[in-house]
Chain A
Amino acid sequence: MRDSHTGFLDQLEADETVELGAIGCQSDDLIRYAGASGDFNPLHWDPGHARRSGFANVIVHGMLSMGVVARLLQNCVERPTDLVSLRVRFRSELMVGETATVSAWLISRESEGMRTKVAFRAELLREGEAMRPIDLGEATFERARRGGASY
């Protein structure tokens, strides 16, 4: 499925929004990420602590959601290192067990297609609520020039 997105940057039309995938984490995913990243904030693994802080359950690390978004964006190009910058605004928390959908659309194509900017959003539909944005942001891809510097 994901392979169908490879090269999508060249095909993406203005006004077109493409669904890239999803962010969804279970408890073991959060514990694995805590260990791998070194972020041991108990909001992400201790349900009691999370409840005392006003959340219904443990919440997904903002940086884990960004890591998944970066992975989904890198999956859209042949060379993952063509993704050179990514900015994320963390708008709302994602609870363990919830699934947010990630979609992207074109902002601009510059330098004869060598640089492409896209915007993305990760959003979640909770029962009885309006669509809730989790992460919003922009990404820049730069195609490595043959024989030039490689990113």
Chain B
Amino acid sequence: MRWIPGRHTVTGVVSMGEGIVGREYGPVRYEVGREKISEFASAIGETNLVFYSKDAAASSGYEEQIAPFTFPTVVTNILDELVRKDPDLEIDWEKVVDGEEEIVYYHHICAGDLLEATTRITGFETKGGLLFLRLDTDLVNIRDRARNLLCTVKATLIARVGDA
């Protein structure tokens, strides 16, 4: 759970965006626990038992208790904290709202997975008094020494800039 400073060194006066796109935060490691999956499932009103017990999941053909679709947000919220602490971004985080979110799965997440996640800035542009900050986060399962990409989360955050 440690921020590895970006490779990009900011020298002298830089305009917004320069040296920002491509910047990376993390990796953070996150072990997916049964009770955390259940807690998250309950918080979104889930009633399907495959999200609450290994036995129920097994009777539906899954090896393990599975995580709800938006569970990756638990991990991206940890990484967002690192992004917010980056002084080079010069963003008033109180003015930031969610613009768009996309989650693409390659394999589902389940209890016992050991995730390694890295966020990178893929967009940083101002349009009409609004700043659009795009963040991509890859969640890789590093359990059993394999490195399998489970999903990618793409978020667009929107901030009012200046006096707008």
Interface residues of A (CB under 8 A from B): 29, 32-33, 35-39, 53, 62-64, 66-68, 70-71, 74-75, 79-81, 83-90, 149-151
Q: A63-B70, A90-B98 are in contact. Are A36 and B104 (CB under 8 A)?
A: no
B97 touches A36 (CB 8 A): no
Chain A contacts of B18 at CB under 8 A? Answer: none
Q: Is the CB of B74 within 8 A of A38?
A: yes
Docked complex Cα distance between A68 and B109 (Å): 18
Report whether A37 and B43 are in contact in the complex, using a CB–CB cutoff of 8 Å: yes
A79 touches B107 (CB 8 A): no
**Does A71 contact B102, Cβ atoms closer than 8 Å?**
no
CB nearest to B108 among chain A residues: A81
Of all chain A residues, the one with the shortest Cβ separation from B104 is A85
Of the residues A32, A53, A83, contact of B43 by C-beta under 8 Å: A32
Chain A's closest residue to B93 (CB) is A41
Partner-contacting stretch, out of B3-11, B60-68, B115-123, B136-144: B60-68
Known: A36-B39, A87-B102. A67 touches B69 (CB 8 A): yes
- Tell me what chain B mostly uses at the interface: helix, strand, loop, or mixed: mixed
In the assembled complex, the CB of A34 is this many whole angstroms from the nearest CB of chain B, namely: 9
The reply to whether A79 and B43 form a contact with Cβ atoms under 8 Å apart is no
CB-contact partner of B107 in A29, A32, A151, under 8 A: A151
Find chain A residues with CB under 8 A from B70 CB: 63, 66-67, 70
B77 near A37: Cβ-Cβ < 8 Å: yes
Bound CA–CA A38/B46 (angstroms): 18
In the complex, what residues of B have CB within 8 A of residue A37's CB? 40, 43, 73-74, 77
**Is A63 touching B94 in the complex (CB atoms < 8 A)?**
no
Shortest distance between the CB of A115 and any CB in chain B (Å)? 13
- Min distance, Cβ B105 to any Cβ of chain A, angstroms: 5
Given that A37-B77, A64-B44 are contacting pairs, would A74 and B102 also be in contact in the complex, using a CB cutoff of 8 Å?
Answer: no
Chain A residues whose C-beta falls within 8 Å of the C-beta of B48 in the assembled complex: 74-75, 80
Chain A residue with the shortest CB-CB distance to B94? A53
Q: List 20 A-B contacts (CB under 8 A).
A: A32-B43, A36-B42, A37-B43, A38-B78, A39-B77, A62-B101, A63-B98, A64-B43, A68-B45, A80-B48, A81-B62, A81-B108, A84-B104, A85-B105, A86-B69, A86-B102, A88-B101, A150-B61, A151-B107, A151-B108
Q: Is B50's CB within 8 Å of the partner chain A?
A: yes
Q: Closest B residue to A30 by CB, please name it.
A: B43
Taking CB as reference atom, which chain A residue is nearest B50?
A80
Sorted from nearest, which 9 A-B pairs have the closest CB atoms? A70-B69, A36-B43, A67-B44, A62-B98, A87-B102, A38-B77, A67-B70, A81-B108, A85-B104
> Which residues of B sit under 8 angstroms from A36, Cβ to Cβ?
36, 39-40, 42-43, 74
Question: Which residues in window 16-74 of B have CB below 8 A to A?
Answer: 36, 39-40, 42-46, 48, 50-51, 60-62, 66, 68-70, 73-74
Chain A residues within 8 Å of B43, by CB: 29, 32-33, 35-37, 64, 67
